[in-house]
Amino acid sequence: MSILNQHQIASLTLQEKISLIDELWASLDCSEVGTTLDRAYDRVLESRLAACDQELDVLITLDRASQQLRAMLKGTSTFVASVSGAA
């Protein structure tokens, strides 16, 4: 299989993209993948924790916190707490 450019990848159907990901995943060496993913997850977690630490001094209502938690659980990437939602 040849390497696809961005335009070619964008033109694939969702099922074709998933199939391509499956093929790529199956071709990887599991021992290398585990180590790499562990480091990648560590960097993501450290970044998110640092972002949360910066917002510890912001007060928000319980309703606002519930909305943010629901959004986070639904897969929304990031949210910003504003002073307008403060108690």
35 assigned to some structural domain: no
Alpha-carbon span 46 to 50, nearest angstrom: 6
29 assigned to some structural domain: no
Tens digit of each residue's pLDDT (9 = 90 or more) over 10-58: 999 999 999 998 888 888 777 766 677 778 888 888 888 888 777 777 7
18 assigned to some structural domain: no
Q: Write out the residue range of the structural domain in which residue 87 sits.
A: 58-87
Alpha-carbon span 85 to 64, nearest angstrom: 7
pLDDT of residue 5: 87
For the chain, how many structural domains are there in total?
1
Tens digit of each residue's pLDDT (9 = 90 or more) over 71-82: 888 875 444 545
- The residue with tokens 């924790």 is 49
80 assigned to some structural domain: yes
pLDDT of residue 79: 46
Q: What are the start-end ranges of the H helices in the chain?
A: 6-10, 14-27, 30-54, 62-73
pLDDT above 60: residue 83:
no
**Cα-atom radius of gyration of the chain, to the nearest Å?**
19
